[in-house]
Amino acid sequence: MVLSIGVIYSLPNLYPAKPAIQIAYTDSGKSADQILLNQVKDILQDQATAVESVGLKDNNIIAKFDSFNDQLAGKAALQKILLDEAVVALNLEPTTPQWLKNIGGGPLKLGLDLSGGVHFLLEVDIDSALDNRLESLLNEYRKKFRDDRINVESSRKDNKDLVFSFASDEDYNKALRIFNEDNITPLGTPLYDLTANSARNLIELAYSQSAIKEIRDYAVGQNLMTLRNRVNELGVSEPIVQRQGSSRIVVQLPGVQDTTAAKKIIGKTANLEFRLEAASTTSRLRKEEFDWQDERMGSAFLEKNIIVAGERVTNASSGFDESGFAQVNITLDMQGGRAMQKATNGNIGRRLGVLFVEQKNKSVLTQDADGNDVIEQTSYIEKEIISLATVQAVLGTAFRITGVGSPQEASELALLLRAGALAAPMKFVEERTVGPSLGKENIELGVRSIIIGLLSVIAFMLFYYRWFGFAANIALFANVVLITGFMSLLGATLTLPGIAGIVLTIGMAVDANVLIFSRIREELKDGKDPQTAIQEGFSRAFVTIVDANVTTLIASIVLYAIGTGPVKGFAITLSIGILTSMFTAILGTRAIINLMYGNKNIKELRV
């Protein structure tokens, strides 16, 4: 029963993956539709490319081909015509039959070391995000105390603390009340750790642990989202963008060959520019025209002078104003606030524009010296107005944009603002690139060593144990099938060390059978008759087998817990291998031996 499940779920690995092309709209918000599908079909037909099938699959169009040459020809043809409208990516599409898919079957996923591709580990610099927050917090309180006429003697940022000292007891008490009122997060936990010294009228403020955690989660979440958007732009078939630990992000792009380009796109930063709208009298030299859909003219003029750029934005969120209309709240750091104050002072009534600046890639069809079509990638900078609103007061570190339309539109604007202002800088801390040729080579070598290893163990067992060895070999073979079946079923990823794990399991899996057989031998030597010897051999070896395997399992679970990437792959195959080998060696071999010797009156037994 278990074996048949193993067989069924390992079946998909026998169906080779077909070369395919994945096509999606460049605009990631738009899913592939019938129009694009027809367009793709037409293009492929015009080019007389031998395509096997074209169809829609989860927001993408998948075209399957019979050979890699057809696939490449198809890609070139599609790219030439679709250019920037759609992302065209090479892909491998499993050919698992429908009935297998229906019961959740699918081939093994290959790790990067087998499929080729890039792995990045990025670290989000939380400290600088925290510093920014503290700076703007300091500024906010300075303003508040000024407005409330609280006399502050000195205020400064000291490492991770803000230190305020007050002129009088009265000022101190008022300030303390304000701090205590603010000291709560939306979740009800304290926002600050406050240390008050009433004798010296000194208050020290630091973010509480829970607030720091929230800031960290926000910063990482923000970066994660930005990264996902950028990775989508790359058109990779199965990208992974995941948070790892408290402040790291893993990006895996299987099959990507041009790593430099991938890194450029991932590492690039979108930016924001806050500029005042140019007055109609401003000279042409000092203003620029940008598209702006809300305007009757379809465009607006902004001054060339940039007040504040994206790195000064510490937070942006959507909310509601007093009368229930959607608004966007923006927080700048201290320096940004000062610049904004200077720029808006005396300019109330004028409009303030926010530009979204992004580096983009464009494919251009050109011809090389020999007259062949070449698609060239050029990068350019795109600037677009995302907000243009009237200044109603002198702005500081915290201000809001009202009249932004629906709550949906407000949250979109906040998202854009945040995407432009990467919540915290990131840096690459680990990078692994595996070229496609190495991946293929690794698969070949891995499969070859599995086969050679398996054959030599089978030969040895046959030679040493004869018929019992034959039974053990069938169990061993079943074991390999079970491992691949379970790994496919669990959706585990096969890596090169994972293959090593399978090879090692093959060597160690016969151990249980060896234990049983040598027990049977001893029982025979003690003068027991063959049937009893077999019975006794199995039951006495059982305890030993369990003890020995449980301890190995402990080691491999620890390995899984501490390992990363490829090593985890090894731990997974080893653990699965231990479990399946216990099963096949104890139950499987027993069944076979019963079949061979059961109900027979054997006079002599050779083990």
Partner 1 sequence: MNFNIPFMRYRRYATIGSLVLLLLSVGSLSFKGLNLGLDFSGGTLIEVSYEEAADLIDIRDLMTNNGFDDFQVVNFGSNSDVLIKVADKNGNSQLGDVIYKFLQDADPSTELKRIEFVGPQIGSELRDQGGLGMLVALGMILLYVAFRFQYKFALGAVAALAHDVVIILGLFSLLSWDFDLTVLAALLAVIGYSLNDTIVVSDRIRENFRGERGFEPDQIVNRSINQTLSRTLITSITTLLVLFALFLFGGDMIKGFSQALIIGVLVGTYSSIYVVANMLLGLSITQDDLAIPEPEGAEFDDMP
Question: Which residues of the shown chain bind partner 1 in the complex (CB under 8 A)?
Answer: 113, 121, 123, 259-260, 263, 427-435, 437-438, 441-442, 445-446, 448-449, 452-454, 456-457, 460-461, 464, 496-497, 499-501, 503-504, 506-508, 510-511, 514-515, 518, 522, 525, 543-544, 547-552, 554-556, 558-559, 561-564, 566-567, 570-571, 574
* CB nearer partner 1, residue 65 or residue 120: 120
Q: Two tokens at 66?
A: 């019979």
Beta strands in 233-296 (DSSP E): 240-244, 248-254, 271-276, 287-291
* CB nearer partner 1, residue 162 or residue 572: 572
**CB of 435: closest distance to partner 1 in angstroms?**
5
Phi, psi angle pair for 406, to nearest 5°: -75, 160
Q: Which of 183, 181, 149 has the alpha carbon at shortest distance from 168?
A: 149
Which residues are CB-contacts of 4 (< 8 A; sequence separation ≥ 6)? none
Beta strands in 125-201 (DSSP E): 152-158, 161-166, 192-197
**CB of 8: closest distance to partner 1 in angstroms?**
27
Q: What distance in Å separates the CA atoms of residue 221 and residue 495, rounded to the nearest whole number?
A: 29
**CB of 544: closest distance to partner 1 in angstroms?**
5
Q: What distance in Å separates the CA atoms of residue 332 and residue 179, rounded to the nearest whole number?
A: 21
Three-class secondary structure assignment of 409-437: HHHHHHHHHHHHCCCCCEEEEEEEEECHH
Q: What distance in Å separates the CA atoms of residue 489 and residue 326, rounded to the nearest whole number?
A: 47
**CB of 113: closest distance to partner 1 in angstroms?**
7
**CB of 459: closest distance to partner 1 in angstroms?**
9
The helix (run of H) or strand (run of E) holding residue 467 is helix 467-490
Q: Is residue 405 classed as helix, strand or coil in its secondary structure?
A: coil
**CB of 257: closest distance to partner 1 in angstroms?**
9
Q: What distance in Å separates the CA atoms of residue 579 and residue 384, rounded to the nearest whole number?
A: 58
Q: Is residue 248 classed as helix, strand or coil in its secondary structure?
A: strand
* CB nearer partner 1, residue 184 or residue 452: 452
* CB nearer partner 1, residue 425 or residue 563: 563
**CB of 127: closest distance to partner 1 in angstroms?**
13
Q: Is 178 left (phi over 0), alpha (psi -120 to 50) or beta?
A: alpha
* CB nearer partner 1, residue 205 or residue 506: 506
The four Cα atoms 280, 283, 287, 293 give a dihedral, to 10 degrees, of 30
* CB nearer partner 1, residue 236 or residue 316: 236
* CB nearer partner 1, residue 68 or residue 464: 464
State the angle between helix axes of 259-267 and 209-234 in degrees (0 to 180), rounded to the nearest 10.
140
**CB of 546: closest distance to partner 1 in angstroms?**
9
* CB nearer partner 1, residue 337 or residue 588: 588
CA distances from 154 to 157, 204, 571 (A): 10, 12, 58
* CB nearer partner 1, residue 138 or residue 472: 472
Looking only at the bridges linking them, the beta strands covering 271-276 and 308-309 are antiparallel
The helix (run of H) or strand (run of E) holding residue 361 is strand 351-367
| Residue 110 contacts residue 438 (beta carbons within 8 Å) | no
**CB of 478: closest distance to partner 1 in angstroms?**
17
* CB nearer partner 1, residue 445 or residue 490: 445
Q: Which of 220, 210, 208 has the alpha carbon at shortest distance from 187?
A: 210
| Residue 19 contacts residue 70 (beta carbons within 8 Å) | yes
* CB nearer partner 1, residue 210 or residue 518: 518
**CB of 566: closest distance to partner 1 in angstroms?**
7
Q: Two tokens at 211?
A: 């607030």
CA distances from 66 to 49, 74, 108, 159, 376 (A): 11, 11, 21, 63, 27
**CB of 251: closest distance to partner 1 in angstroms?**
13
Phi, psi angle pair for 42, to nearest 5°: -60, -45
* CB nearer partner 1, residue 24 or residue 227: 227
The helix (run of H) or strand (run of E) holding residue 586 is none
Which residues are CB-contacts of 515 (< 8 A; sequence separation ≥ 6)? 541, 544, 545
**CB of 495: closest distance to partner 1 in angstroms?**
10
Which residues are CB-contacts of 76 (< 8 A; sequence separation ≥ 6)? 373, 375
**CB of 497: closest distance to partner 1 in angstroms?**
6
Q: Which amino acid does the sequence have at 156?
A: R
* CB nearer partner 1, residue 393 or residue 543: 543
* CB nearer partner 1, residue 225 or residue 559: 559
**CB of 228: closest distance to partner 1 in angstroms?**
21
**CB of 368: closest distance to partner 1 in angstroms?**
16
* CB nearer partner 1, residue 180 or residue 539: 539
